[in-house]
Amino acid sequence: MDIAFSRSQFPAIQRNDGSFAFMDNAGGSAVLQSVAERVSDYLLNTNVQLGASYPTSQVSTKLVREGAVAGARFVNASSPDEIVLGSSTTQLFENLARSMEEHMVEGDEIIISETDHEANCGSWARMCKRRNLVLKVWKCEGADQALVLESLEAMLTPKTRLVCVTHCSNIVGTVNNVKEIAKLVHSIPGAEICVDGVAYASHKIVDVQDLDVDYYCFSWYKVYGPHIAQLYTAKRTFPRLGSINHYFLSPDMRPYIMQPGNLNYELSASLPAIVAYIGDLGRAPADRLGVEGQKKVRGDAGATREELERGFQAMAAQEHKLVDKFLSYLASKPAVYTTIGQKVASEARAATISFTVANFKSEDFITKLDGYGIGARFGHFYAHRLVCGSLGLSDDGVVRVSMVHYNTVEEVEKLIAAMDEILGA
C-alpha cells in the first residue's frame, strides 16, 4: 500500500506526523479531508429541506441520496432502501429493537454474544424485559476467548428469534465466521441474525449478501468519516419491521419509517468520499481521485465493488505487518504481557490488540504511554460483559492498541521502545 498517499489524505495524521502515533482508532479514526470538505460544501451551499421543487432542494436531495447509495455500495446491499442512517450504532440497534418488538411474543428467545460491545446487547436485553422474552448469552471459550459454533448450535431452539453477534470483537480482535453463524441461525425457521460490524468495517470489506445476514450495523466515524452510523436491513425483514416514525407515513416509505427525525443531511452527503478514498487505495497512482476528486464525486458511490476489494486488500496487507510485529513483541515477554485473544497475526485477527501488563494498572500504563507521544487507551470499551465477566477484570480493564492501515511500522517501533522504557527493559 502507498502509505504516504494514505496519510496525506488525513490532515490530523499529517499535522502530527512523526511527533504523535495515533493508536486509538477503534474508538474513532482520523477523518478524511475530502469528507470534511463535503460536509462544509453541503452546509454552505445546499443546506435546505429535501424534496422541494426548487433547484437547491433538488441538488440537496440528490447529494443526500448519494450518501445512501455509497452506504449500499460499501456493504453490497441490493438497494439503498435497505440502508438506514442514524446517529450511532447504539441508537440504531435500539431503533431496530423498537421496530421489531411488536412481532415478538412471550417466550421467544434472543441470544447475545458475551464478546459484543454493549450496543448489540443492551437493546435486546431491554426488549426481553419489556416483552417477557428469554435472553441467552453465548459465552466465549478457551485461551483465545473464542465463540465456538457448536456451543451456539446447542443453544438454538425452535423458539430462537434473533442471534446477535459481533463481526469482530473490539477487545479480542477476533474476526468471527459470520457466514457460518448465519447459516446455522437460518437453519431455525424464523430465526434472524443481527451483526455488529463496528470493529470490522474499517479493516476488511463487508458483503452482506454473501454473509446472508438479516441486519448489519457499523459507525462511519470509525471508518474515516463523520459521526454517523448505518444499519442494513435485508428486504426480507421488512414485513417484520414496524414504523418508528410518524403514524401517517406509508409502511413502504423505507428507510424513512426507520429514521425518526430523518437522517443528518450533511453527514450523509459526505459518505461517497469515504468510498472514493478506499477505491483510491486500490487504484494505480495515475487513476487516483485524490482529495479534490473524492470531494467532487457525484452520481456514484465513489468506487466500484472491485475497487473497494482491491483497496481493502491493500489495507489488510499493511495492517498484517503491524499486527505481526506488535504481537511478536508481546509474545517475547510472556511474564509481563498477557494478550487477550489470538496471539499471532492471521486473517481472523484485526489490528485491535488488547493486553494486560504485570504489576501495572491499565490506566497507569496508558498514562505513562501518553508521555511518549502515543495515543492508546484503557478500560472495558463497553464490552463490559466480557471484560468484567469471563476475563474477570475490573473497570480498569485492558490496555488497547488499535491500529489501521495508515499506521506505520515506525510507529509500532516507537510504541515498543516506549513500552520497554516504561518497563525499564
Burial zone of 88 (CB within 10 Å; 0-12 exposed, 13-18 middle, 19+ buried): middle
Q: Look-up: residue for cell 502507498?
A: 2
Q: How many whole angstroms from its chain centre is CA 172?
A: 14
What span, in angstroms and rounded, lies between the C-alpha atoms of 349 and 371? 29
* CA distance to 105, 126, 127, 269, 295, per residue, from 111 (Å): 15, 13, 12, 35, 42
**How would you list the strands of the sheet with 337-340, edge to edge?**
337-340, 352-357, 398-402, 377-379
300: number of Cβ within 10 Å? 14
Residue 425, pLDDT score: 58
Q: Which three cell numbers stand for residue 36?
A: 470534511
Going from N- to C-terminal start, the domains of the chain cover 3-31+317-423, 38-270
Residue 19, pLDDT score: 87
Closest by Cα among 43, 35, 25 to 226: 35
HEC letters along 336-367: CEEEECCCCCCCCECCEEEEEECCCCHHHHHH
Q: Do the Cβ atoms of 196 and 116 come closer than 8 Å?
A: yes
Which tens digits make up the pLDDT trace of 186-224? Answer: 999 999 999 999 999 999 999 999 999 999 999 999 999
What span, in angstroms and rounded, lies between the C-alpha atoms of 85 and 383? 24
Superfamily of domain 3-31+317-423: Aspartate Aminotransferase, domain 1 (3.90.1150.10)
Cis peptide before 11 (omega within 30 of 0): no
Q: Compute the chain's Rg from CA coordinates.
A: 22
What's at 4, amino acid-wise? A
Q: Which helix (H) or strand (E) holds 231?
A: strand 229-233
Closest by Cα among 198, 137, 129 to 164: 137
Pairing of strands 377-379, 374-375: unpaired
- CATH code for residues 38-270: 3.40.640.10
What span, in angstroms and rounded, lies between the C-alpha atoms of 262 and 84? 10
Pairing of strands 83-86, 377-379: unpaired
Same fold, 3-31+317-423 and 38-270: no
Pairing of strands 21-22, 398-402: unpaired
Q: Determine the longest span between alpha carbons in the chain, in angstroms.
A: 69
What span, in angstroms and rounded, lies between the C-alpha atoms of 41 and 265? 12
Which tens digits make up the pLDDT trace of 357-398? Answer: 999 999 999 999 999 999 999 999 999 999 999 899 999 999
Residue 8, pLDDT score: 96
- Give the CA-trace dihedral at 30, 31, 34, 36, to 10 degrees: -150
Q: Do the Cβ atoms of 194 and 163 come closer than 8 Å?
A: yes
Q: Which three cell numbers stand for residue 343?
A: 496471539
Residue 18, pLDDT score: 77
Beta strands (DSSP E) in 95-169 are: 109-113, 134-138, 160-166
Q: Do the Cβ atoms of 381 and 397 come closer than 8 Å?
A: yes
For residue 159, the SS3 value is coil
Convert 285-295 to b/e letters by CB count within 10 Å (16 or more is b): eeebbbbebbb
What span, in angstroms and rounded, lies between the C-alpha atoms of 121 and 116? 7
Contacts of 407 (CB under 8 A, 6+ apart): 21, 22, 23, 25, 319, 322, 351
Low-confidence residues of the chain: pLDDT under 50: none
